[in-house]
Structure 1
């Protein structure tokens, strides 16, 4: 049986990745932030969210000990964060200043690899935070990578559809071309090292892609013949492109998330479908197993992260978990309330109280209730008024309330903003939309800055822009003006 434990709603835009350490869960988003939670009760840590990237964050991963978190972004950097303080430990600038789509630690945390939208691969010495070597795959973007459990090899997946195996000297050892038609989305090695019948070392690899398939490969290190990749299973449990896949810590289970909004859980060795989970409202972009508990985290373009618990004794092949059965089992679960569909300034006093409960601010509910705080008054609160008028004595509590209020003010999608009104780069409502050579509309200032620093590539397609000419999108500007006037 699989149960929905809770739903996390801290992000204001698409969730792009989920990652567990033994004690923590990290999630990253197109809203430029990384949120960090306790894996015990899924409460957000005091230093969360982490804010340091200039653009959306594509991927995040923990070091083996869980002391560090790496995150990579369209801003062409991989940032290393301390999980003791939430402070930035290092900023690793990708070669060529290309947007960084993926990063991965080696199992011993000695190395960190990052892959760029221009096909570049950077291998970093993590101890010294220095660049060791670079490699490249031409005419494609690197969107997936994973180290073997022995930490001596790593694999990359690209939008071209190939899987390529590399050693630490950046020697290209093997290419599995057309592994996924239309492109690879994600790949991950199982944590265990195996032995073949002839005594050779083997690894199990899962990959997924735009062809709506999950594939399980056996990668064999042959002493004389080099590398051999053999397809063991092709999993067809989802009906649309698959964006993420991940192994459990024991390598016995595999989870994947798809554009069809489903999450599938497989028995990995035999490729048997165990569960199909239907709870997200939009594409499922991320999934991860906890290494220490029977938990799965899944992230989505619906801006939420779902936490699922796997319970023993089911074994039901292909069993679907219906929406009505996927109820929130702990106090950490939050269901969408009516106030979330309104502008904050339109909230009633009851809406404000409901929001305080959702954000875990029960300690101040009585103060807000006795002062009849509605949405408009909520937005006008300051640390000073929280102290002098609402008599909240705790400085830490006042800071937490103000942090949540600031998040409300910065949430452009909370009032139902149409996605086409948001700049793809800044994810903010456009004031001066222009059409670039790739056919997409952007905020003028954002795309001009992008062109000046990103070697004239499209933020949406990563392909070269044939011209830097920008055409005002007056129709879109008028539509945005009409929409904002009516709000």
Structure 2
């Protein structure tokens, strides 16, 4: 089970995309803005929000080094932002000023690609910001694109469901018709090439998702072909980065390249940053989990909790995260902590950690489908599902008059307290 690190609630309209760099998280929205956060503590950067588009922003992407942030919009432009200052360093306009749905930057930042609603792609030389060509690649909207690891090829996906491989002169190399029956929604290539079987070719992996609720992994080489198909998704996948299991109330997904984190954007205008590992979150300075705490992490935690005088005892006994969670009265005494009051304070802090942990280990039916957090005031909505009152009320206050679980219209916004579920949660918490 994933564990939520933080929830970001700054956009005023639906989220459309999110993207990680090694140190930043960017989000964009129909509200015409981008917001940028420091992943050290998920505080919003001073220059955020970024405003420059005249219409909703559909896609945002970082360059490989993280120094550039790209965004494209219904206004037909791609804006290049400095990740350091938030300054718009370039504005690249589609020749026909056609609404842009997706953009991508080559791994070496040599080329910039943008897909448009009229089935065209615009390709720019990124260092000079000059247009190389604008070509028709589909009869339908181009909603997905990515470059190969070398940047000499790119892939496009459209709302008709086709995937196509092109060279940088926009010459078609391969077409996979109806790769996704109901339309492609996104694609992503592996960051590296690999040598094919028997060393006879070089190939890379390509992942694609679609409205057919399928995630497909392809081998792209001289012998392009489907590697395998994953069908575990229960709802259309609207955005994808490798190795994530889709949750049907999320629209956008991005994985951090440097940490085991995933950012998921929902139609309720929020972004949840979650860890992909099981265990406990480390409060304060680090977002690691207790099961992964080193001895240094434990010592830092002691200082944060006002127990600095115990650092030497813990250091001498090589106490790491798993051992910390197992401490009790007897083992605490064996550490040489003579003060009864100090031992009691330590044990209370450890119990508080265990209490917090119970939220991530709760039965799934006790978790709000929107926030994935333990419910405190569960209510039943018109779709028959139970939600945390505050979360579903926030959902309804927005433009969402549909069920977060089924996407069908809610016949009424009336919410009924689920007292039996609340009692069951209370009993479960007491048993912990």
TM-score bracket relative to the smaller structure: 0.5 to 0.7
What is the CA-CA distance between 1:171 and the residue it aligns to?
1.2
Cα distance in 1 for residues equivalent to 2:391 and 2:119: 44
Aligned match for 1:288, one of 232, 254, 259: 254
Aligned length: 304
How far residue 338 of structure 1 moved from its aligned partner, in angstroms, is 5.7
Pair 1:241–1:152, CA change in 2 (3 A): same
Q: 1:339-418 to 2 correspondence within 5 Å?
A: 416=397, 418=399
Match of 2:233 among 225, 235, 238: 238
- 1:220-299 aligned at under 5 Å gives the runs 220=221, 222=222, 228-247=223-242, 254-255=243-244, 257=246, 260-261=248-249, 284-299=250-265
Q: CA deviation at 1:321?
A: 7.9
Query: Contact 1:4–1:309 (CA<8 Å) still a contact in 2?
Result: yes
The 8 Å contact of residues 243 and 257 in structure 1, kept in 2 or not, is answered as no
Distance (Å, rounded) in 1 between the aligned partners of 2:262 and 2:95: 34
Deviations 1:358-405 (A, max 9, x none): xxxxxxxxxxxxxxxxxxxxxxxxxxxxxxxxxxxxxxxxxxxxxxxx
Look up the match of 2:202.
Answer: 201
3-state SS in 2 of match to 1:198: helix
Q: 1:419 offset after TM fit, Å? A: 5.8
Task: Give the Å deviation of 1:97.
Answer: 1.0
Cα distance in 1 for partners of 2:33, 2:144 equals 20
CA distance in 2, matches of 1:323, 1:286: 23
Q: How many Å separate the matches in 1 of 2:391 and 2:104?
A: 39
- In the aligned structure 1, how far is the partner of 2:68 from the partner of 2:103? 13
Equivalences for residues 25-424 of structure 1 within 5 A: 25-199=25-199, 200-220=201-221, 222=222, 228-247=223-242, 254-255=243-244, 257=246, 260-261=248-249, 284-311=250-277, 322=364, 324=366, 326-327=372-373, 416=397, 418=399
* Shift in alpha-carbon separation, 1:190–1:312, aligned structure 2, 3 A: farther
- Output the CA distance in 1 between the equivalents of 2:251 and 2:64: 23
Cα distance in 2 between the residues matched to 1:187 and 1:338: 35
CA distance in 2, matches of 1:151, 1:90: 21
Structure 1 gap segments, 5+ residues each: 223-227, 248-253, 262-283, 329-334, 342-412, 421-487
Deviations 1:148-169 (A, max 9, x none): 1111111000011100111111
Question: Closer, same or farther in 2 for the Cα pair 1:321/1:112, shift >3 Å?
Answer: farther
Q: Radius of gyration: which is bigger? A: 2
- Cα 1:243–1:285 shift into 2, 3 Å: same
| SS in structure 1 of the partner of residue 264 of structure 2 | strand
Give how far 1:312 is off: 6.6
Deviation, structure 1 residue 67: 1.1
- DSSP 3-state at the match of 1:212: coil
Q: State whether residues 16 and 285 of structure 1, in contact with CA within 8 Å, keep that contact through their aligned partners in structure 2.
A: yes
Partner of 1:5: 5
Using the size of structure 1 for normalisation, the TM-score is: 0.59
- C-alpha contact 1:95 1:120 (8 A) present in aligned 2: no
Indicate how the Cα distance of structure 1 residues 307 and 414 shifts in structure 2: closer, same or farther if over 3 A, else same. Answer: closer
The CA distance in 2 between the partners of 1:93 and 1:156, in whole Å, is 19
**1:336 to partner: Cα distance:** 8.8
CA change 1:230–1:91 in 2 (3 A) is same
Change (3 A) 1:161 1:21: same
CA distance in 1, matches of 2:27, 2:178: 30
**Would the aligned equivalents of 2:268 and 2:395 in 1 still touch at CA under 8 Å?**
no
Q: Offset of 1:2 from its aligned partner?
A: 2.5
Output the CA distance in 1 between the equivalents of 2:72 and 2:364. Answer: 35
Quote the offset at 1:4 in angstroms.
1.2
Structure 1 segments of 4+ aligned residues over 4 angstroms from their partners:
323-328, 335-341, 417-420
Note the alpha carbon deviations across 1:312-360, whole angstroms, 9 max, x for none: 799xxxx9983756549xxxxxx9996996xxxxxxxxxxxxxxxxxxx
- Go from structure 1 to structure 2 and tell me whether the alpha carbon gap of 1:337 and 1:231 turns closer, same or farther (over 3 Å shift): same
Q: In 2 relative to 1, CA 415–164 (structure 1 residues): closer, same or farther, beyond 3 Å?
A: closer
Shift of 1:219: 1.0
Mark the runs of 5 or more structure 2 residues left unpaired by the alignment: 280-290, 292-360, 375-386, 402-432
Query: Structure 1 residue 302: deviation in Å?
Result: 1.5
Deviations 1:425-452 (A, max 9, x none): xxxxxxxxxxxxxxxxxxxxxxxxxxxx
Give the 5 Å matches for 1:446-461: none
Deviations 1:184-239 (A, max 9, x none): 0001011121111132111111101111111111111x3xxxxx321122111122
Label 1:417 to 1:170 Cα distance change in 2 as closer, same or farther (>3 A): closer
